[in-house]
């Protein structure tokens, strides 16, 4: 393989281009990580991340497609591709690269939290507390993966690789993921993830929005006692309630729709919990279970609905990025792939905010759609009216905005380019 040509190709892709500007935060993050330059003599970490981000943006399902596309970056200069598939495959499966990529995530997230707007700033009762959501999704295995399910005598999950994803609701972006190829229950995956010293479940004072599959009173009781961590979920009918005590519901707009607020004792817990019965704008009655007692019951009901932002993230990953199917067979390769998807999400949010958001340009078409749904009688949302001002930011990156990066990544970066080609995509459907 011609390493000089690879260097020239990567330079042409990243030198003063949209892709280069997109990857600038990664370069700054890697500068804070030791050993980055000694990972490989052929494919540097910056180039490895750059090609991974580009593959997600272009939605390339196969490695062959991306490697062959590099042949056309400098047409006529050589007959052979500048990057061998084996080189990229080895890099993707590298545990050392996985460690470097993991070490680069904290400084990248620090920059994102310092730059991007706080989506929950209008909730003073939260007092800057971390608010996270978690949920699981599944990924089809690579063609090189020989699955053996429990019915076949193995341990592999029949649904595919399990990805336990973690989402920062204040940031509006995914921040971490736990990968599991074995067939295991969601709460077991959560307990496995919690063993890591860097696990987000160890963030003090965090508020978690979780699915009913993650109800484990013993786990959440221990987190609240040691770290002040609380959670909000939907009530599960199989839970046994020993006693109830009604709590006073304040007559404020935020509590519109709250029917009951009870302090309860669960058979599976020694701590007090809270059961909130809520009727939505469209008449749906739901029950919320939480061990959070400092927030108004209507705010708790509303915050749980923000968990669906993570579903928008999954939608982008599977339909726009190339995350629906694994790129490699090893756990290290899957983890690298998913962390590259997280990096791509962060980079797109940072660049759009830097080039457009700072000039007052936001995703107007999505905001208009949200406003219409807030007042629609036929296709209305269940969001309470008092919460409408919170929705100043969209939860999903528009597909046509992602197409800008897909088709313009190699163009010289300039404000004129963004004004001419990105701004119209934020203002209207084309």
Tell me, yes or no, whether 21 and 148 share the same domain.
no
| CATH number of the domain encompassing residue 178 | 3.30.2170
- Element of type H or E holding 136: strand 131-139
Q: What is the pLDDT of residue 293?
A: 97
In a shared domain, residues 86 and 126: no
Whether residue 109 is contained in a domain is answered as no
The reply to whether 134 and 255 lie within a common domain is yes
Question: Tell me: the pLDDT tens digits for 221-270?
Answer: 999 999 999 999 999 988 999 989 999 999 999 999 999 999 999 999 98
Residue 345 falls inside a structural domain: no
Residue 371: how many other CB atoms lie within 10 Å: 12
pLDDT score of 76 more than 70: no
Is 13 within the bounds of a domain?
yes
Q: What is the pLDDT of residues 350-377, one digit of tens each?
A: 999 999 876 667 777 777 777 777 666 6
Same domain, yes or no, for 182 and 276? Answer: yes
Give strand pairing partners of 286. Answer: 278
- Starting at the edge strand found earlier in the chain, the sheet holding 258-266 runs 173-180, 161-168, 131-139, 207-210, 230-234, 285-290, 272-279, 258-266, 241-246
Are 196 and 292 contained in the same domain?
yes
Judgement on whether residues 9 and 64 belong to the same structural domain of the protein = yes
Give CA–CA dist 400/426, Å, rounded.
Answer: 9
Higher-pLDDT residue of 345 and 77 is 345
Answer whether 107's CB lies under 8 Å from 101's CB: no
- Comparing 105-119, 171-185, 299-313, which segment has the lowest mean pLDDT? 299-313
**DSSP-based three-state secondary structure for 140:** strand
Cα–Cα distance measured from residue 146 to residue 143, given in angstroms and rounded to the nearest whole number: 8
Q: Are 178 and 200 in contact (CB under 8 A)?
A: no
Whether 14 and 69 share a structural domain: yes
Q: Could you tell me where the DSSP H helices lie in 15-61?
A: 18-22, 24-30, 45-58
73 and 221 share one domain: no
**Average of per-residue pLDDT values in the chain:** 90
Looking at 51, 72, 98, the residue that finishes a domain is: 98
pTM: 0.93
Q: Are residues 276 and 232 in the same domain?
A: yes
Position 383 confidence tier, pLDDT thresholds 50, 70, 90: confident
The candidate with the shortest Cα–Cα distance to 387, out of 234, 288, 258, 256, is: 256
Q: How far apart are CA 299 and CA 364, in angstroms?
A: 26
Beta-bridge mates of residue 164: 136, 178
| Residues above pLDDT 90, as percent of the chain | 68
Predicted local confidence at residue 360, as pLDDT: 67
Number of domains the chain contains = 2
Q: Is residue 299 assigned to a domain?
A: yes
More confident residue, 286 or 77: 286
What domain range includes position 129? 116-310
Over residues 317-339, the mean pLDDT reads: 94
- Confidence band of 39 (pLDDT split at 50, 70, 90): confident
- In the block, residue with structure tokens 């088709």: 407
Of 281, 310, 339, the domain-final residue: 310
DSSP 8-state assignment for residue 201: G
Of 288, 310, 332, the position where a domain reaches its end is 310
> Coil, strand or helix: which one is 44?
coil
Neighbouring CB atoms inside 10 A of 12's CB total 13
Q: Are residues 62 and 130 in the same domain?
A: no
């Amino acid at each position: 393989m011609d390493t000089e040509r690879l260097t020239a190709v990567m330079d042409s892709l990243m030198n003063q281009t949209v892709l280069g500007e997109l990857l600038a935060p990664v370069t700054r993050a890697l500068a804070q990580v030791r050993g980055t330059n000694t990972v490989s003599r052929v494919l540097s970490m910056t180039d490895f991340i750059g090609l991974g981000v580009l593959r997600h943006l272009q939605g390339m399902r196969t490695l062959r497609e991306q490697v062959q596309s590099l042949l056309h970056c400098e047409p006529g200069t050589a007959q052979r591709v500048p990057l061998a598939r084996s080189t990229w495959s080895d890099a993707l499966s590298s545990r050392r690269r996985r460690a470097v990529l993991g070490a680069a995530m904290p400084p990248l997230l620090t920059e994102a939290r310092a730059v991007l707007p706080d989506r929950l700033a209008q909730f003073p009762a939260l007092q800057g507390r971390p608010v996270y959501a978690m949920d699981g999704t599944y990924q089809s295995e690579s063609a090189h993966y020989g699955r053996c399910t429990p019915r076949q005598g193995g341990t592999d999950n029949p649904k595919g690789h399990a990805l336990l994803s973690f989402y920062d609701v204040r940031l509006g972006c995914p921040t971490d993921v736990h990968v599991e190829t074995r067939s295991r229950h969601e709460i077991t995956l959560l307990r496995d993830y919690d063993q890591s010293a860097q696990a987000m479940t160890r963030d003090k004072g965090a508020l978690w929005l979780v699915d009913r599959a993650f109800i484990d009173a013993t786990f959440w009781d221990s987190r609240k006692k040691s770290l002040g961590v609380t959670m909000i979920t939907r009530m599960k009918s199989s839970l046994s309630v020993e006693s109830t005590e009604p709590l006073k519901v304040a007559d404020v707009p935020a509590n519109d729709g709250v029917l009951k607020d009870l302090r309860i004792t669960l058979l599976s817990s020694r701590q007090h919990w809270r059961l909130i019965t809520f009727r939505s704008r469209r008449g749906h009655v739901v029950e919320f279970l939480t061990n959070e007692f400092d927030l108004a019951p209507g705010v708790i009901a509303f915050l749980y609905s923000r968990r669906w932002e993570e579903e928008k993230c999954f939608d982008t990953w599977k339909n726009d990025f190339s995350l629906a199917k694994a790129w490699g067979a090893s756990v290290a390769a899957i983890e690298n792939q998913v962390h590259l998807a997280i990096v791509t999400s962060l980079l797109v949010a940072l660049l759009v905010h830097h080039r457009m958001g700072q000039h007052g340009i936001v995703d107007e078409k999505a905001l208009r759609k949200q406003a219409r749904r807030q007042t629609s009688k036929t296709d209305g949302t269940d969001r309470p009216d008092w919460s409408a001002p919170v929705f100043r930011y969209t939860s999903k990156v528009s597909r046509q905005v992602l197409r800008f990066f897909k088709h313009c990544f190699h163009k010289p970066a300039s404000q004129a380019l963004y004004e001419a080609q990105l701004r119209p995509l934020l203002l209207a459907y084309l």
